[in-house]
Amino acid sequence: MKDLKKNIKFAWKYTKGQRKNLFFLIICNIISIIISVIIPIISAKIIIELTQNMLYQVIITALVIYFIETLRNFIHYFHRNLSSTIYRETFKKIQIALGREILRLENKCLDETSSGIFIQRLTNDTSRIADVFTSLNINITNIVTNIGIFAALFIINKKAFLLILIMIIIMYFIEQKRVTIRNIKDKDFRKSNEQVSGFVSELVRGCRDIKMLSAEESFMKELETKIVNLNDKRYKMVRTDTKYNLAEGSLVNLFDTLLIILLVYLISTNQLEIPNALVIYNYMGRVISIVNYFSTLFEKVKDFNLSSERIFAVLKSEEFPKEKFGSKHLSKVEGNFEFKNVTFSYKDTPVLKNVSFKVKANETVAFVGKSGAGKSTIFNLLCKMYDINVGTITIDGEDINTLDKASIRDNITIISQNPYIFNMSIRDNLRLVKEDLTDEEMIEACRLSSLDTFINSLPDKYDTIVGEGGISLSGGERQRLAIARALVQKTEIILFDEATSSLDNETQLHIQKAIDNLKKDYTILIIAHRLSTIINSDRILFLNNGQIEASGPHKELLEKNKNYRNLYESESFDK
């Protein structure tokens, strides 16, 4: 009960704006309850009037029932519309809130967690929570309605009432046991469902590579294993329901027979009139359905609690840690930053070891070294994608741990080696980083990234849909679109992480010219494997095994550092 109270309170805040509809929904339910209690009484009157040959009164009573039932139909119509509106709006708000929290998760958490977990919780669990208010409302209304009918049966005959009450109690405990067992199995089912969703997501994203590796059968075997496991758990849930439904059905048949015997006995001993016996028998099913509604209510509560816990875990739990930022805001960033004795490990694997360096505003600095030397890690730490273990990183003299998110992310643009292009138009991909982007700004950014000629050759030009991950674009085109997207942002610090690695020599010259145009106006950091990209940098930092081994202009490093010279001679400027 404590968990239910907490979870209802959690879900209640997402109904803001729908409280009025909830009030009218309750009014509809109250009217439905009154009608449902009145109708059996009036229906019983018809049976009595028929047996007494009061045909005129039967017609009058039938017309009254008709008008009452018509009113109930209109009430049901408004009820469905109100329920649909409440569900839609609540569902939307919970999904938006959860989506926002997922974007706040630490990158380490995202790296280590299957995407299926977030997909299922964002779609399935939010739906179940949004449904709780209308579901509870409907089931409680049905319970109260049938209790009213049950009370009417008590007035008609207490012995029949007692027999039905015994049956309801027995059925209730059976249903409670079924729901408890089903809930345990449902937890396992949802975990397996998350695994399948995550694997399918990976299969779709990696489909091209799977084909190129001729690994279709291996992936299909793995998918089959996960799907079989998922369906086994679904089958166990269905089997639990089937087993208990069989027991309940047999009990209902038994009590149905016992009730008939009891009614015959009461009629034969003049303790009950035939019309009243017919009313009791006809409405026995409605009364027994109280158990089903209680069971559904109990199941909905369990389901709601489980979904709330799963969503609450993403929103608040330490299981899914969020990025932490300071409160200090820099209204204007110059572009100076410094690493002071920075050490960083990922999963207990040392990446950077006591790294220190300074970069001045509007300086262009390159980072080179063998794969795994820690170059991209420096970029990720500067953007606060990960938190350092030891040391300090400052921007304009301020520790980045004290700065708010906008001071860091709104002032640093990173152009990565494998940029993600979204399944939307070229124009919308660029507007993602600047909503009020003008056509002039868009065209200029594409010109600087040498993408304008290609775009103008397309039938839909800037409105061309590029497909998921930019699948309809070549590697070089995706890279240039990412560069254009970064140029639109116009931040003080621009990081090029192997940004020209997918480009041909001619296009690279255009990009190099674009980078040269940005020099002296922006702080530029470059990771590159091509010599032409970095030899004109103000400084080059040579990393080796997580440490800065040498620093200086290109010519100076050639003379003073053997490892850099070997790297230069082999032209192996790998990430």
Domain boundary pick from 315, 349, 378: 315
Who wins on pLDDT, 208 or 97? 97
Taking residues 297-317, what's their average pLDDT? 78
- Please report whether residue 508 resides in a domain: no
279 and 403 inside one domain: no
263 and 367 inside one domain: no
354 and 402 inside one domain: yes
208 and 302 inside one domain: yes
**CATH number assigned to the domain comprising residue 249:** 1.20.1560.10
Who wins on pLDDT, 47 or 447? 447
Q: Are 310 and 121 in contact (CB under 8 A)?
A: yes
Bridge partner residues of 398 (DSSP) = 395
Confidence of residue 572 (pLDDT cuts 50, 70, 90): very low
- Please report whether residue 72 resides in a domain: yes
Total domains, the chain: 2
Taking residues 79-105, what's their average pLDDT? 80
Q: Are 361 and 523 in contact (CB under 8 A)?
A: yes
295 and 353 inside one domain: no
292 and 163 inside one domain: yes
pLDDT of 574 over the 50 cut? no
Residue 388: φ, ψ to 5°: -70, 155
308 and 349 inside one domain: no
Confidence of residue 174 (pLDDT cuts 50, 70, 90): confident
**CATH number assigned to the domain comprising residue 566:** 3.40.50.300
pLDDT of residue 39: 74
pLDDT of 563 over the 70 cut? yes
pLDDT of residue 379: 86
- Please report whether residue 327 resides in a domain: no
- Please report whether residue 467 resides in a domain: no
Q: What pLDDT, in 10s, does the model give residues 444-497?
A: 888 877 788 888 888 888 888 887 666 777 777 777 888 888 778 777 788 888
Nearest to 190 by CA among 283, 305, 56, 83: 305
Bridge partner residues of 346 (DSSP) = 349
**Could you give the dihedral angle defined by the CA atoms of residues 196, 198, 204 and 209, in that order, rounded to the nearest 10 degrees?**
-110
pLDDT of residue 123: 77
Residue 130 CA to residue 472 CA, distance in Å, equals 38
Residue 495 three-state SS: strand
Q: What pLDDT, in 10s, does the model give residues 407-438?
A: 888 888 887 777 778 888 888 888 887 878 88
The whole domain housing 383 covers: 333-411+523-575
- Please report whether residue 510 resides in a domain: no
21 and 103 inside one domain: yes
- Please report whether residue 444 resides in a domain: no
Q: Are 341 and 354 in contact (CB under 8 A)?
A: yes
Residue 414 three-state SS: strand
Confidence of residue 573 (pLDDT cuts 50, 70, 90): very low
97 and 193 inside one domain: yes
Contacts 24+ apart (CB under 8 A), 452-459: 454/480, 455/426
Confidence of residue 575 (pLDDT cuts 50, 70, 90): very low
What pTM was computed for the model? Answer: 0.65
Confidence of residue 108 (pLDDT cuts 50, 70, 90): confident
99 and 177 inside one domain: yes
Residues 6+ apart with CB under 8 A from 357: 338, 339, 541, 548, 551
